Structure 1
């Protein structure tokens, strides 16, 4: 009512109404202040959107369950890579080392080939460990969102030989696992996309907390893209990111133009499934 009196109109106001039979219906209404016979009156129209809201909630529930199933599978694969595959690769390196030590001194060419194999095994082991950590970050579980994001940005910068600047401020030490995981996955996806498609060499990641939300911003100064076209074509992992953010009642905004760079901003409520928003992080 206050807004109606101040501005003269209210649009798209979601209101829950009780019927005589006890049912509660969700409506979407608009009101406009009009004058009839010299008196101020409110002309209001409300549409029943109960079924639409139920369908949206059912779809959101399915989306959350799919995300949870995906995370469980990521965790399982990460553990197999770390506990099984990576240990076998480490054992292979040890056996190659032992075998090399038992060679006669005159086997120079053979020793050289073994050195190459040992180096290759070590590189494979490092890559497998990196894949394991990207699938499931133990830092996120034990050290929290800021430490995990900072470590990820540093790792990307070292591997890709690029500059990734990370900054964080006012992030509460205790965040729900759902919110932390959402922001971390969005950072992973958006930064990986930027590196692949932007042709930039410098990236900025910012995490910032307010009294009721966490903001994540990932920015590059590359070639940019048509955001509407990318979403329509279901490319760049944007659909997956939107679904993750939506699952915690967050909001994602993409600002990009050809040759003007890209900025992805996410805002998420501190309490999952409250209201939403996220921007952030850099290494």
Structure 2
């Protein structure tokens, strides 16, 4: 026997016919070098016994026809179909088609043959035909698989202009494209007309490549469904094969990938926004650090220097037996008071001391400060005298409240603000409502809306929800909802 081709070269081919009969011939000797288990079972022979029989009796095709097809397709990497000349004598099953591919391994050339498309099965004992039952079972199984495929299964060939011509479309055509299958079969340009120029050009290019190389055609693009006034993302995959008459035919499937595409775009958008927000927060953090450093240097550093100089003067006078005036001591006391105020201010900026009194008292105090400083009426309400929150929740609610009030002062042109903090069984809800000019939904999506984006990120980190919307009457409503822990 001749050497069998490497398994790696046969793998893809054998997978296509894993349930069919597979034969491998050495093209130079036309001797059988391999048969599959299904072929041995069908013929009831072993490999050596089958090799002694003629190819006509085994395959129903003469040696000269096999050689001719093999030479014609020697440099092709795809299967071609061959119609049998007669019914094979060996074996219980007759096949009306053979599939042939030429393989090369270790400088030897082989012919790979797969028997498929069962048309007749004869029972050796009673002579009854079982082909119809086998064929019916195969067709039923195939129809069930196609019917349950989430998409549009199709077959197409090329017309005289090299354009797709659909010859078969499943019932999924209407659900996927909003077109009747018969209309699309009649006029395949209906599919092209649903695409933009770029996607249409890419599809034609992929079709041209698949035609030239007989390779898988894979295309993704957007189509406009006019009847539904909606866009859809489609994924089209088709595999070409050469029919017995030499015509290339593609079989494939179109599926709706809109949901996954939108999800991918949302993820990419979120990543971009997160990068931008991170950069902005880093910039703000550096600005805050610089401001704190300036305050420590200018206020605390300056005051401590003045205190040191004042004390040095007093010590110098005392060492010389001179009198120290009350004004000098009072001056030092005044500088110390100013230093304490600066320490409290810097400390409050880093973490508000008022939060030690509880979130209700902290927000109520901040509302009064806002009203006092800007002259805008600010009414604070709460459904409980005390609400228990975690440290992170307290800081988040307080900072978002500060940021919101700052935005109202800068942009809203409001005269009245209502603030409500309520605790329920599962949620803590903070609502800030102003009667200003309001906010458009598009404004919340602007690339530079870092304030709102930062608020949303703070709340999301605590597994809560953040919403900004136009008020029913006038102004803007901000709603923060945090889970009770």
Q: Give the shorter-chain TM-score range.
A: 0.5 to 0.7
> Does residue 1:221 correspond to 2:435, yes or no?
yes
Number of residue pairs matched by the alignment? 199
8 Å Cα contact 1:245/1:251 also seen in 2: yes
Aligned equivalents of 2:410, 2:472: Cα separation in 1: 15
Q: Does 2:458 match 1:244?
A: yes
SS of the residue corresponding to residue 227 of structure 1 reads coil
Which residue of the partner structure matches residue 348 of structure 2? 133
Distance 1:171 1:226 in 2: 35
Secondary structure of residue in 1 paired with 2:442: helix
CA distances 1:175-229 after superposition (whole Å, capped 9, x unpaired): 2111111111111111111111000121111111001111001111011121333
Q: Separation in 2 of the partners of 1:146 and 1:71?
A: 28
Please list the CA deviations of residues 143-200 of structure 1 after superposition, one character each: whole Å capped at 9, or x if unmatched: 1111111111111211112211111223654321111111111111111111110001
Partner residue in 2 for 1:107 = none
Helix, strand or coil: the match of 2:431? strand
SS in 1 for 2:413: coil
| 1:30-51 C-alpha deviation (Å, 9 max, x unpaired) | xxxxxxxxxxxxxxxxx99xxx
Are 2:299 and 2:342, in contact at CA under 8 Å, matched by a contact in 1? no
CA distance in 2, matches of 1:220, 1:201: 8
1:211 correspondence with 2:425: yes
Once residues 388 and 283 of structure 2 are traced to their aligned partners in structure 1, the CA distance between those partners, rounded to angstroms, is 24
CA shift in 2, pair 1:213/1:127, >3 Å: same
Say whether the 8 Å CA contact 1:74–1:135 is kept in structure 2.
no
Alpha-carbon distance in structure 1 between the residues aligned to 2:419 and 2:404 = 10
Q: What is the TM-score when the length of structure 2 is the normalising length?
A: 0.33
Note if contact 2:360-2:386 (Cα within 8 Å) is conserved in structure 1: no
Aligned 8 A contact 2:438 2:475 in 1: yes
Q: Give the structure 1 partner of residue 392 of structure 2.
A: 178
For the Cα contact (< 8 Å) 2:387–2:423, is it kept in 1?
Answer: no
Q: Distance in 1 between matches of 2:453 and 2:364?
A: 25
CA contact (8 A) 1:223 1:259 kept: no
Secondary structure, aligned partner of 1:224 = coil
The residue aligned with 1:266 is 480
Q: How far, CA to CA, are the matches of 1:132 and 1:146 in structure 2?
A: 20
Partner of 1:15: none
Give the Å deviation of 1:91: 7.1
Distance change in 2, residues 1:89/1:145 (3 Å)? farther
Aligned 8 A contact 2:429 2:482 in 1: yes
Cα 1:69–1:167, aligned 2, differ >3 Å: closer, same or farther?
farther
Q: Rg bigger for which structure? A: 2
2:427/2:482 contact within 8 Å kept? yes
Retained in 2: the 8 A contact 1:79–1:132? no
CA distance in 1, matches of 2:306, 2:406: 31
Task: Give the corresponding residue for 2:361.
Answer: 147
Greater relative contact order, per chain length (Cα 8 Å cut-off, separation 6+): 1
Structure 2 equivalent of residue 111 of structure 1: none
Distance 1:83 1:175, change over 3 A: farther
Deviations 1:121-159 (A, max 9, x none): x8xx9799657534420111x211111111111112111
Q: SS state of the match for residue 480, structure 2?
A: strand
Structure 1 unpaired stretches of 5+ = 1-46, 103-117, 272-283
Q: Is the 8 A contact 1:220 1:262 kept in 2?
A: yes
Q: Would the alpha carbon gap of residues 92 and 149 (structure 1) be closer, same or farther in structure 2, given more than 3 Å must change? A: farther
8 Å contact kept, 1:86–1:128: no
Rounded to whole Å, the distance in 2 between the matches of 1:153 and 1:82 is 26
Rounded to whole Å, the distance in 2 between the matches of 1:219 and 1:235 is 19
2:377 to 163, 166, 169: 163
Counterpart Cα distance in 1 of 2:409 and 2:425: 32
Conserved 8 A contact 1:81-1:132: no
Distance 1:70 1:150 in 2: 31
